[in-house]
Structure 1
Amino acid sequence: MTSKENNLSILYIELNKLGRSANNDYEKALKVANKILGLAPDEEAAFKCKIICLIQLSKFNDALQFINKNPKLSTNLDFEKAYCLYRLNQVQEAYNVVEKIQNPSMKIKELKAQILYRLEKYEDCFTVYRDIITNSNDDYEDERETNLAAVLVQLAVNNSKLDVPELREDTYELTYNSACRLVAQGASGDRNTLIEAEKKLRLAEKMCKESLEEDESTEEEIDDELRIIKVQLAYCLQLQGREKEAQVLYTNALKAKPDDIALIAVASNNLITLNKDQNVFDSKKRMKYATNDGLEHKLTSKQRCSIAYNQCLLALYTNQGDNCHQLCKKLMQTYPQLLIDATIVRAVQLNKENKIKEAVNLLLDHTSELFVKLVSVQLLLSQGEKYEAIKILENLNEKDKALPGIVSALVTLYMADNNRDKASEILKEAVNYYKLNKDKSENLGTMWRQAADFHLRSGQIEIAAASLESLLELSPTDKKTLSQLVIAYSKFSPAKAQLLSKKLPPMDHLSEAIDVDALETSNWIIGTKVVKRKIEPSPAGGLLTSDSTGPIVKKRNKRKRKGKLPKNYDANSLPDPERWLPKYERTGYRKKRDRRNRDTAMKGTQGTAAGASDLYDITKMPANVKPSPNPRQSPAVETSGPRQQQRKFQQKKKKKGGR
């Protein structure tokens, strides 16, 4: 044996000891494998040992480069190569490697299931996991069922119609995933499903705490595991409308500063949705965490899509116009399924900037959905652009144009423009559409009813009667239509009205179910003071009255008295025709003189001397004295009394703080 062979033998013995030891010293094993490859580069066993050591040390990039540099030695390392690609988030490349493997082993199937989950091919992933669980029998059954339960949650989120089995719920992970599945099913508004999900989440929280305490986990580890369940519980409460409770749970989870960036992003995004257009400064801070780097491979595409859309809305609420437009464009490119939502957000931003025409053009250019066209009509009508709105509604396809709401809107707009002919034509077109398509649904009846009401209001009785006839054919037992048609016939053909009125039920049948006494005693229209009271005989012989407003009250018997006439009453003389007028409106009324207003010209201020009024009366001034027309050129005249003229009044200055 040569020295080289001897050295290789010694190194393999050392490598074998390291592989069997419980210390898992992969660094030392890697050094030994490198020594072997230094002596013999073609040693396949040492090559594989080095790859495994690099993977265990999480040096996936180094392992992948080493595999790619030595294609001859890596022919049987497809699993290791695919696993390195998977851990480096090159998921599609990992799937391409696994898909080429013929007769895959169990570990390759499990890796393929994980890759399919990351690629969001949940139905294929479900098929692989079901095959693994059916054909395996080892200690990893709980983990596989937990992963399968996670797949079922995503199938429920995506509304898959795949038949799924019922799984066990004897571990907290399985109970948690089962609750998440119920939350996904109840997100559409099924409150009972959400209540059931809440119960399971609280049970999972209790089971998790007990299980980890049995395993002697630290308090920090227990809190980290419970935090995921609590955030999911908060989401369940939020869907139920219990927003304050949800907000407390989200806030407490974020205050603990968890290491899981995906958990932080989800909780932050959900808090933003709770804030809505309020507390935008807090929302801006939360959005930084929700859009942190490294989340691309931690969140599902649906979660990332929701966060991106909320980012656009936040920019809209905070009046960041340019940023809002940029984010919306990016959202359209990244997530085409949100094209309509992003377009509407941009249109609202343009509306805030008073660019109505640009907003309408944007909506009409990007999509032909009816909902978006109605949004553009609403924007135009808010600015008084009636004719532009009519033009958009007129250009709808035949099916959408015949919808009752669209017909009603067009008729209203034409009537506002005093264009009765066009409004009538719209109704006829809608009715003809339903006739041609043999659609006997409620829409046709609604159209006939609208047409009849419209023509009745506009005085076109015969056209209205034709519409009512067609409506009566759809529902021959409709008493309302029958009575309207009788009224319409009575305007132009009394004979037809008389003949048709025989089909109406007799009045006795109509009034059988009517309680006249209840109608008379009810006070739903008239006041309680004028409600007719029902008189009932009392056992004591008197009369008792009852009404709907209170208990039974006793009523006195009033005796009628003869009216009294004045003593000097003359039955032959005519009464005064002005007897009901007030005194001040009668012809003989004379207003009394007010003594307080006498000699007003002689009255002056207190203390005026006799004759002073003549002195200051302008009508009694001499002819040669004329008042000055300009008060600025004449000396000021004191208009106060003589006491102020006799002595000068010097105003005292107030002292600060004095009385």
Structure 2
Amino acid sequence: MTSARSSATSTISTLLGQTSLDDHGEILRAADKALKKSKTDTEAQHVKLVALLKLDRFDDALHVLGQGGEKLKERARLEWAYALYKAGKPEEAAEIAKDATERGLQHVEAQATYRAENFVRASTVYQQLSSDQVQAKNEEADLRINSGAVDAQLEWAGLGPSTRSKKPRREDLDAFETAYNAACGSIPRGELGQGEVLLRRAKDLCNALEDLSETDKQAELLPIAVQHVYVLARQGRLDEAEKLASSIPIQEIPDPSTRYIAQINSLASRPKSNPFLTHRLFNSAPTFSRTDQLFQYQQSIIRQDSFAIDLDSLKHEGVAAATARKINSQSLPSLQYSLNPLSILNVAARARSESGKTALKQIVPLLEKRPNDLGLILTIVQLYVLTGNLGSATQLLEKFLSKLEQSGNDSHLDARFAPGLVGTLVSLYVSQGQRSHLRTELAKAASYWRKRTKESSPSFTQPVHALKAAGSALLESSISGDLSLAKAIFSDVHAQDADDRYSTAGLVASLTFESPSEITATQLDALTPVERLVTSIDASALEAAGVARVSAPTSTNTKRAAPEAKAPRPKKMKKSRIPKDYDPNKTADPERWLPMKDRSYYRPKGKKGKQRQAQLMQGGIVAEETSRPATPGGEGSRPGATVAGGGTGGVIGGGGGAGAGQAKKKKKGKGGKW
């Protein structure tokens, strides 16, 4: 058996010696000849495997590995993992290369975990590779580029705290690939201006390369331009986005996924377009290869775009049914970034794209069917806010969060204290001036996440921004317990990142109240000096602008008097309301709105008129023959009402006093009071 293997090895070595190392087809044919003589020759199988990988025949390579069995797989572990990765099976490839000490396998694991969207693990592997000494040419540059790509994907996946750095480093600006990755990391953080600057930098660096042909340069510049269109559209600069999108030769983009994204961005940059034509163009998606698939967050956004275009095309029933099926198939409440937007689209479809009170009438009843639908709750809260009903919005969100808190379920509690939900409730409190409620809510959220961090695995990422907000709000409180919690929060955050100035300032501020002796010189030196903070402030200019200053006891008050209020301009009356005999030169009668008998200059004529006027006067003489009581039980009468003598002189009755005229006349001398 040994002699046969040696003979076969000698044969394959002889055959390979007769060919060029770059001619992989010839190497493959030589390996096949050797395998005809000995099908179990591991050496020949390995050579054939490498040749197939060089020829990009990855399925055939996996077939050879299957024929070779465990012996070949153990010998060619690197090739096995690489073949799985290139065949579109990144999860299996990552499992094969996991915890390997061989540097090549570590690279495969990093690439496979990146493609499998396990970005945290990919970042860890690249950090390990970067910490060791490089062993291949250009490996250091490749590691920097790939690490930047992983950081960008962490930002897009909502795992920003796991990134190595939030700001572009100086070395990131030296190559167009690293500048492009830094731009892609800035965009999901909302730093669109910085992202645009970095994209322009990447474009300039690419154009300046001398070792790239014009064709290669164009291939590298196209993805940069596609990303630039997205940034311009996000900034609302739709005219510029449309102009740039129209200049991109979309069909020349070699990567199918990038070509499809370019097509979508081009459609989105058109502010006014035919929705039915947009629908047809949007759904003309290319066929993606197994190794060129969209990431989950990209698929989620495209799915949302698809439903939005369907709504513009008046396909309300279809969108409502499709989104409802997806929502009902999931466990609610959910924090999936791909699920909650579907609830919003479902609501829009049911309300037929209406908003305000009209939409509320249609969607509030849905709460009975989906009481734990987070997207539905937030949509109703938003509609309440848009209609000015902040009280109902706050009450609805408080009730929902209280229900989640009382459930005791871990997933429900994670949703209850999700930073976005807490931030929404805090914003409602701020808009209504409820500072105490705000601090209470942030304190509860901070306590929960600190406890959750201690109980979870080391890979758990706590919401640092939410903790910072809670600590800052608690510093404004005068309650000792709130200040102690603020100190604990900033101590934890500062321990994770001692270079973070925000957490350092918060820690110093909290220690000032609790224990000033614990403040270190290093912490104080990390803060911006007061002199630097006030260098741009001109005290004299502020004083001249009207800032009130405390005067000495013997001096006179130097405050400037408030300017006199200007008289309002008289309103111009419409012609239709001006009387025919109106004279603008005459002063209008100020009592013209009163009945004639109530005007001060009214003088009755005749004996009866003067007598009636005397009766209407307060304290006037009342003739007995005209006095009569209100009828008890009559419609509108009220018991205890007086008819005359010191009152207004009229008959008092409720609702018009219809019973007053039904009373019979009393005999002379028998009247008076009822």
- TM-score, normalization by structure 1: 0.54
Match of 2:175 in 1: 171
Matched, 1:240 2:211: no
Matched, 1:339 2:336: no
Match of 1:319 in 2: 314
- In the alignment, the residues of structure 2 paired with residue 347 and residue 57 of structure 1 have an alpha-carbon distance, to the nearest angstrom, of 51
Match of 1:181 in 2: 185
Match of 1:41 in 2: 39
1:215 equivalent among 204, 211, 215: 211
- In the alignment, the residues of structure 2 paired with residue 277 and residue 83 of structure 1 have an alpha-carbon distance, to the nearest angstrom, of 47
Alignment map for 1:525-544 (pairs within 5 Å): 525-527=567-569
- In the alignment, the residues of structure 2 paired with residue 10 and residue 84 of structure 1 have an alpha-carbon distance, to the nearest angstrom, of 26
Match of 2:76 in 1: 77
Please say if residues 40 and 68 of structure 2, whose CA atoms lie closer than 8 Å, have aligned partners that are also in contact: no
- In the alignment, the residues of structure 1 paired with residue 17 and residue 252 of structure 2 have an alpha-carbon distance, to the nearest angstrom, of 44
> Mean Cα displacement is larger for which, 4-13 or 162-171?
4-13
> How big is the shift at 1:528?
10
1:301-348 Cα deviation digits (max 9, x unpaired): 111111111111111111113431354246546994333321221122
Match of 1:596 in 2: none
Would the alpha carbon gap of residues 13 and 336 (structure 1) be closer, same or farther in structure 2, given more than 3 Å must change?
Answer: same
Please say if residues 364 and 380 of structure 2, whose CA atoms lie closer than 8 Å, have aligned partners that are also in contact: yes
> Mean Cα displacement is larger for which, 253-262 or 352-361?
352-361
> How big is the shift at 1:47?
1.0
Would the alpha carbon gap of residues 306 and 295 (structure 1) be closer, same or farther in structure 2, given more than 3 Å must change?
Answer: farther
Alignment map for 1:437-448 (pairs within 5 Å): none
> How big is the shift at 1:230?
1.5
Please say if residues 90 and 115 of structure 2, whose CA atoms lie closer than 8 Å, have aligned partners that are also in contact: yes
- In the alignment, the residues of structure 2 paired with residue 26 and residue 127 of structure 1 have an alpha-carbon distance, to the nearest angstrom, of 35
Please say if residues 273 and 310 of structure 1, whose CA atoms lie closer than 8 Å, have aligned partners that are also in contact: no
Matched, 1:249 2:291: no
Query: What amino acid maps onto 2:337 in structure 1?
Result: Q
Match of 2:18 in 1: 17
1:83-112 Cα deviation digits (max 9, x unpaired): 11111111111122222x6x5301000000
Query: What amino acid maps onto 2:342 in structure 1?
Result: A
Match of 2:30 in 1: 32
Would the alpha carbon gap of residues 306 and 108 (structure 1) be closer, same or farther in structure 2, given more than 3 Å must change?
Answer: same
- In the alignment, the residues of structure 1 paired with residue 203 and residue 58 of structure 2 have an alpha-carbon distance, to the nearest angstrom, of 35
Matched, 1:120 2:117: yes
Would the alpha carbon gap of residues 266 and 29 (structure 1) be closer, same or farther in structure 2, given more than 3 Å must change?
Answer: same
Would the alpha carbon gap of residues 515 and 247 (structure 1) be closer, same or farther in structure 2, given more than 3 Å must change?
Answer: same
Alignment map for 1:562-581 (pairs within 5 Å): none
> How big is the shift at 1:13?
0.7
> How big is the shift at 1:161?
1.8
Please say if residues 9 and 43 of structure 2, whose CA atoms lie closer than 8 Å, have aligned partners that are also in contact: no
Please say if residues 271 and 283 of structure 1, whose CA atoms lie closer than 8 Å, have aligned partners that are also in contact: no
Would the alpha carbon gap of residues 359 and 227 (structure 1) be closer, same or farther in structure 2, given more than 3 Å must change?
Answer: same
- In the alignment, the residues of structure 2 paired with residue 404 and residue 84 of structure 1 have an alpha-carbon distance, to the nearest angstrom, of 51
Would the alpha carbon gap of residues 328 and 278 (structure 1) be closer, same or farther in structure 2, given more than 3 Å must change?
Answer: farther
> How big is the shift at 1:148?
1.1
> Mean Cα displacement is larger for which, 291-300 or 79-88?
291-300
1:451-479 Cα deviation digits (max 9, x unpaired): xxxxxxxxxxxxxxxxxxxxxxxxxxxxx
Would the alpha carbon gap of residues 38 and 358 (structure 1) be closer, same or farther in structure 2, given more than 3 Å must change?
Answer: farther
Would the alpha carbon gap of residues 379 and 443 (structure 1) be closer, same or farther in structure 2, given more than 3 Å must change?
Answer: farther
Would the alpha carbon gap of residues 9 and 124 (structure 1) be closer, same or farther in structure 2, given more than 3 Å must change?
Answer: closer
> How big is the shift at 1:295?
8.2
- In the alignment, the residues of structure 1 paired with residue 143 and residue 426 of structure 2 have an alpha-carbon distance, to the nearest angstrom, of 54
- In the alignment, the residues of structure 1 paired with residue 283 and residue 253 of structure 2 have an alpha-carbon distance, to the nearest angstrom, of 16
> How big is the shift at 1:58?
1.4
Would the alpha carbon gap of residues 13 and 289 (structure 1) be closer, same or farther in structure 2, given more than 3 Å must change?
Answer: same
Match of 1:617 in 2: none
Match of 1:554 in 2: none
Would the alpha carbon gap of residues 382 and 295 (structure 1) be closer, same or farther in structure 2, given more than 3 Å must change?
Answer: farther
How many pairs align? 426
Please say if residues 343 and 373 of structure 2, whose CA atoms lie closer than 8 Å, have aligned partners that are also in contact: no
Match of 1:305 in 2: 300
Alignment map for 1:599-638 (pairs within 5 Å): none
Would the alpha carbon gap of residues 143 and 370 (structure 1) be closer, same or farther in structure 2, given more than 3 Å must change?
Answer: closer
Would the alpha carbon gap of residues 32 and 341 (structure 1) be closer, same or farther in structure 2, given more than 3 Å must change?
Answer: same
Match of 2:631 in 1: none
Query: What amino acid maps onto 2:349 in structure 1?
Result: Q
Please say if residues 88 and 291 of structure 2, whose CA atoms lie closer than 8 Å, have aligned partners that are also in contact: no
Would the alpha carbon gap of residues 341 and 443 (structure 1) be closer, same or farther in structure 2, given more than 3 Å must change?
Answer: farther
Query: What amino acid maps onto 1:236 in structure 2?
Result: V
Would the alpha carbon gap of residues 163 and 360 (structure 1) be closer, same or farther in structure 2, given more than 3 Å must change?
Answer: closer
- TM-score, normalization by structure 2: 0.53
1:12 is paired with a residue of what secondary structure? helix
- In the alignment, the residues of structure 1 paired with residue 291 and residue 67 of structure 2 have an alpha-carbon distance, to the nearest angstrom, of 29
Query: What amino acid maps onto 1:321 in structure 2?
Result: H
Larger relative contact order (C-alpha < 8 A, sep ≥ 6)? 2
- In the alignment, the residues of structure 2 paired with residue 228 and residue 293 of structure 1 have an alpha-carbon distance, to the nearest angstrom, of 17
Please say if residues 347 and 359 of structure 1, whose CA atoms lie closer than 8 Å, have aligned partners that are also in contact: yes
Match of 1:132 in 2: 129
1:184 is paired with a residue of what secondary structure? coil
Match of 1:592 in 2: none
1:108 equivalent among 105, 110, 113: 105
Query: What percent identity do the matched residue pairs reach?
Result: 23
Please say if residues 229 and 244 of structure 2, whose CA atoms lie closer than 8 Å, have aligned partners that are also in contact: yes
**Alignment gaps of 5+ in structure 1:** 411-426, 445-510, 530-576, 578-659
Match of 1:148 in 2: 147
- In the alignment, the residues of structure 2 paired with residue 344 and residue 4 of structure 1 have an alpha-carbon distance, to the nearest angstrom, of 67
Please say if residues 256 and 292 of structure 2, whose CA atoms lie closer than 8 Å, have aligned partners that are also in contact: no
Question: Greater CA radius of gyration, 1 or 2?
Answer: 1
Please say if residues 251 and 259 of structure 2, whose CA atoms lie closer than 8 Å, have aligned partners that are also in contact: no
Would the alpha carbon gap of residues 112 and 66 (structure 1) be closer, same or farther in structure 2, given more than 3 Å must change?
Answer: same
- In the alignment, the residues of structure 2 paired with residue 404 and residue 177 of structure 1 have an alpha-carbon distance, to the nearest angstrom, of 34
Would the alpha carbon gap of residues 295 and 336 (structure 1) be closer, same or farther in structure 2, given more than 3 Å must change?
Answer: farther
2:254 is paired with a residue of what secondary structure? coil
Would the alpha carbon gap of residues 319 and 363 (structure 1) be closer, same or farther in structure 2, given more than 3 Å must change?
Answer: farther
- In the alignment, the residues of structure 2 paired with residue 156 and residue 110 of structure 1 have an alpha-carbon distance, to the nearest angstrom, of 22
**Alignment gaps of 5+ in structure 2:** 404-420, 445-469, 478-555, 572-600, 602-674
> Mean Cα displacement is larger for which, 327-336 or 78-87?
327-336
Would the alpha carbon gap of residues 519 and 342 (structure 1) be closer, same or farther in structure 2, given more than 3 Å must change?
Answer: same
Query: What amino acid maps onto 1:168 in structure 2?
Result: E
Please say if residues 149 and 177 of structure 1, whose CA atoms lie closer than 8 Å, have aligned partners that are also in contact: yes
Matched, 1:519 2:516: no
Query: What amino acid maps onto 2:66 in structure 1?
Result: N
- In the alignment, the residues of structure 2 paired with residue 78 and residue 98 of structure 1 have an alpha-carbon distance, to the nearest angstrom, of 8
1:127-186 Cα deviation digits (max 9, x unpaired): 21122122224312211211111112223333422362646232221222223223333x
Would the alpha carbon gap of residues 228 and 29 (structure 1) be closer, same or farther in structure 2, given more than 3 Å must change?
Answer: same
Match of 1:566 in 2: none
